[in-house]
C-alpha cells in the first residue's frame, strides 16, 4: 500500500497465491453415484451369470436324467400294453370283462362266455353264463352282441337275486327289427345297485343268430364305480 498526500492508494498484487477453490458438492455426489451404479451393474451381471450356470448344471444333472427315466417308463408301459396287462396291476374295485369264443357253448337263449379268450375277472365269479357279484355297490353293467337276423331280435341283461323270488329281473333290453337278412349290433349299458350273490347274465331271442367271427365282437362285463 502506497500513500500519496491525503489519498490512500491501494495496489493489489495479482501474482499473490490464491487459495484453492473446493469443487462443488454436487459434482462429487454425481461422481460417487455413478461409481455406485456401475458397481451395482457389475455385481448384478456376475450374479446373473452364476444363476444361469447353476440352472444349466441342474438341468444337466437332474432334469434330463429324470426326463429320460420318465420316457423309458412310458416306453415300457406302451410295450407292456402291447403284450397284455401286467400281472402286478390289481384293480382296487371289482370288475369283469368277458368275450365270446368258440369254446363257449350257448343255450337256446342264454349266452355263455369264453374262458380262454383273455377273460378279466377281479372280485367277481363266473358260473354257468352268469357274473356273480361279491361286493355290494353301484356297478356299470354292459353287453354288446353282433348278430345276423331277419325279423325281430331282442337282447337283454338280466339278473337273478335272492331279493326277488319270482324269477329273473330284466335290467337292460334292446329290441330290433330288420326287414332283411342283415348283420347288426346291439349295445346295452347302465348303472345299478347290486348286492352280494346277485347273478348277471345275457339273454337273446336266439343264440344261433349270434355271429362268432371274432371273440371281441361279443362281450359282457361290469365294474364297480
**pLDDT per residue as tens digits for the range 93-148:** 999 999 998 888 999 999 999 998 889 999 999 999 999 999 999 999 999 999 98
| pLDDT value for 55 | 73
- Give the pLDDT mean for 219-225: 97
| pLDDT(45) > 50 | yes
- The percent of residues above 70 in pLDDT, for the chain, comes to 71
| pLDDT value for 102 | 83
| pLDDT(77) > 60 | no
Question: pTM of the full predicted structure?
Answer: 0.60
| pLDDT value for 108 | 94
| pLDDT value for 135 | 97
| pLDDT value for 218 | 95
Candidate from 78-87, 111-120, 147-156, 187-196 with smallest mean pLDDT: 78-87
| pLDDT value for 56 | 72
Q: Which residues have CB under 8 Å from 63's CB, separation 6+?
A: none
Residue 64 — pLDDT band, cuts 50, 70, 90? low
Amino acid at each position: 500500500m502506497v500513500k500519496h498526500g491525503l489519498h490512500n492508494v491501494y495496489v493489489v498484487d495479482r501474482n499473490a497465491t490464491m487459495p484453492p477453490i473446493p469443487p462443488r458438492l454436487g459434482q462429487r455426489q454425481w461422481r460417487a453415484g455413478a461409481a455406485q451404479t456401475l458397481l451395482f451393474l457389475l455385481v448384478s451381471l456376475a450374479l446373473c451369470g452364476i444363476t444361469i450356470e447353476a440352472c444349466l448344471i441342474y438341468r444337466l444333472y437332474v432334469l434330463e436324467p429324470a426326463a429320460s427315466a420318465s420316457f423309458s417308463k412310458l416306453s415300457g408301459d406302451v410295450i407292456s400294453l402291447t403284450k397284455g396287462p401286467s400281472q402286478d396291476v390289481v384293480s382296487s374295485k371289482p370288475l369283469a370283462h368277458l368275450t365270446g369264443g368258440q369254446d363257449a357253448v350257448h343255450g337256446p337263449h342264454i349266452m355263455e362266455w369264453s374262458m380262454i379268450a383273455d377273460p378279466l375277472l377281479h372280485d367277481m365269479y363266473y358260473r354257468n353264463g352268469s357274473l356273480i357279484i361279491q361286493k355290494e355297490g353301484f356297478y356299470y353293467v354292459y353287453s354288446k352282441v353282433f348278430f345276423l337276423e331277419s325279423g325281430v331280435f331282442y337282447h337283454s341283461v338280466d339278473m337273478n337275486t335272492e331279493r326277488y323270488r319270482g324269477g329273473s329281473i330284466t335290467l337292460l333290453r334292446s329290441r330290433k327289427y330288420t326287414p332283411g337278412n342283415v348283420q347288426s349290433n346291439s349295445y346295452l349299458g347302465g348303472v345299478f345297485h347290486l348286492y352280494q350273490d346277485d347273478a348277471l347274465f345275457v339273454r337273446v331271442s336266439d343264440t344261433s343268430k349270434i355271429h362268432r367271427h371274432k371273440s371281441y365282437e361279443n362281450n359282457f362285463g361290469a365294474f364297480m364305480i
